[in-house]
Chains A and B, each alone.
Chain A
């Protein structure tokens, strides 16, 4: 249960309203202990790689990334491509959040290695499922990269 509580979620969404709604939903499902919200893909990468604004940040993680697709600067597809292409980060589960069921979005996300795909407005039941799976995933591999 401790491991599960420790799951740190990186929420990447350029829309504060969507982000607020998402965080509210996560809270209601007891998944909100440790949520970090960033506004675009660039910040997301900075956070993961501890650079820019997040240089020398505390803590580990993230252990789950909720990623919007359509964002200014670096979009969700690009973030997925970078993180899943990096041996250090490719084990971090990425759940794509998108407004549409456009096949183009879905297939692209999966082809770059996204783990799951949720249509907005978020269905929190399935999100909770994914999050807990992510938690078990961490339990199963037992150790996050300690660096």
Chain B
């Protein structure tokens, strides 16, 4: 960038005004000083000349009478003129007659007078005048005076400088005022121009404030904006038009491409064989597709020969359909088996024949297509068969499942009735044996009889438990809102009243209510609490504690005892049917209770787990989903 254009108009105008003012002042000042100096010099010379003439006039008698003393007195009068530093009077023949010095010092006036006139020696003006008396030159007066030209000059320059400074300030102020009236409209134009550039809003106008050249400039600018706006509008319109045209063209191209695609697809969809026949259904011309598919030669298919390529059983149907379509002049479709030369077999095809009608609705010729639908039909058939098979299998499975369920039910029914009958006999008759014959039995016999009775009873218990397990395992879940605190407390009361031994400390914590099957959950509490009671019964101070935690999507409950506990290595075995971790003699039980609890909780969509250390009590946790599940 050049430096000049970056300076603002404002600065330029100011500079022009100042430079002009300065130049004018300098020139006029210099002229005035020159004139003043000339004038000073002339005045001073005239003044001195008049002084010299006065002294000469006064000193003339003294010269005539050769009285130097009188001449010196006259000269001494010059003391009133401090500028005159020294003076001298010469006789007519040129010798020094009298002299004067303002300082009283000896002044080295030249021995001889100079010619009339004046000259400047250093800072002094020296002047000589002839003394004329009675038409005769009687002598010469010489004066020497201060001639302070430089002092004078300094004064002038000083005054001139002050004037210049003042007038420049004035000029600056005036020009500042003036230039606002010029630059402000220009600035306005500039800012409008910038806004237009940025926003492309050609409707903006610069405000016109004056009617001078700047006003004209604003007008010209606004006119230009008008023109620009108009041009832009036209340009935009033509752009839009171009875009529209491009879009239309693109659409047309797409439509064209789609049309071409459709045609191709149509041709493909028309499948392998396209044929033509005359209005009577005779093949007349070349039928290359037909020949390729059926393997018929031209001579074979010409006329009605093409019919023979269809399987025999299809020909009558074909003739019928054709004659009907001829009568009604309508398109007809038919599926029939057609000889397929490449595979040397009949294949199912769909024949479609379209009559081409003349202006008076007479059939001109037939156009037709043949699609091979053998594979499609076979696939459909296979699919149908498969579906049917699948349905059959599902039905069979369901029946098998139902049968199995029934069987299981009748099995458990038989178990409960028939398996118990012999047991009842064993138990009942050993009781009778005991009652009727115990007096005749020795101790050993009594012991053995006791074992039989006990084990029969245990077997009965096992069967009962197993049946319970099976029954509850199959029972439909009927969920309802359960107060778990009530349930746990009541169950504990019921169990504890029936048990002997130490009284048990039972602590009930917070138990969130559950949505579950009441009878099943009762069974859960019953089994878990009876376990806890059983396994803590040998403690001095048995403690059973129940509590619960509300989690995000499930409630967790626990039953804790301070009883015998179990080895955590076997925790996986806890919930299996007939699995026991303790000796029967120590803690009686059948090993079904926890399996049942596990089953019930799992069927409710919950989980169950246990923590323990041998001798350190056990904690059984189970969770139930917050939203009830049916299953």
Contacts and interface: CB of A to CB of B under 8 A. Distances in A.
Interface string B369-413: 000000000000000000000000000000000000000000001
Given A18-B421, A70-B417, A120-B420, A100 B428 contact: no
A102 B413 contact: yes
Given A24-B432, A100-B467, A17 B417 contact: no
Contacts of A99: 416-417, 420-421, 424
Interface in A5-30: 15, 17-18, 21, 24
Contacts of A18: 421, 424-425, 428
Interface in B426-469: 427-429, 432, 467
B420 A21 contact: no
A109 to B, nearest CB: 14
Nearest to A15: B421
Interface string A104-147: 10000000000000001100000000000000000000000000
Interface residues on chain B, size class: 10 to 19
A120 B424 CA distance: 8
Interface in B463-519: 467, 471
Contacts of A69: 417
Contacts of B428: 17-18, 21, 121
Given A21-B429, A21-B432, A24-B432, A100 B417 contact: yes
A28 B428 CA distance: 14
Nearest to B460: A121
Contacts of B421: 15, 17-18, 99
A127 to B, nearest CB: 14
A4 B361 CA distance: 111
Nearest to A120: B424
Nearest to B409: A104
Contacts of A121: 424, 427-428
Contact of A100 (B416, B425, B427, B429): B416
Contacts of A101: 416
A105 to B, nearest CB: 9
Given A17-B425, A18-B425, A100 B420 contact: yes
Contacts of A17: 421, 424-425, 428-429
Contacts of B424: 17-18, 21, 99, 120-121
B252 to A, nearest CB: 81
Contacts of A120: 420, 424
A120 B416 CA distance: 11
A27 B216 CA distance: 143
A97 B179 CA distance: 130
Contacts of A103: 471
Contacts of A98: 417
A17 B431 CA distance: 13
Nearest to B464: A101
A143 to B, nearest CB: 37
A14 B427 CA distance: 18
A17 B413 CA distance: 21
A69 B418 CA distance: 12
Contacts of B413: 100, 102, 104
A120 B428 CA distance: 10
B422 to A, nearest CB: 8
Contacts of B467: 100, 102
Nearest to B422: A17
6 contacts: A17-B425, A70-B417, A70-B418, A99-B416, A101-B416, A121-B428
Given A15-B421, A98-B417, A102-B416, 15 more contacts: A17-B421, A17-B429, A18-B421, A18-B424, A18-B425, A21-B424, A21-B428, A70-B418, A99-B420, A99-B421, A99-B424, A100-B413, A100-B416, A102-B471, A120-B424
Sort A-B residue pairs by CB-CB distance and give the 5 closest, nearest first.
A100-B416, A21-B428, A17-B425, A99-B420, A99-B417
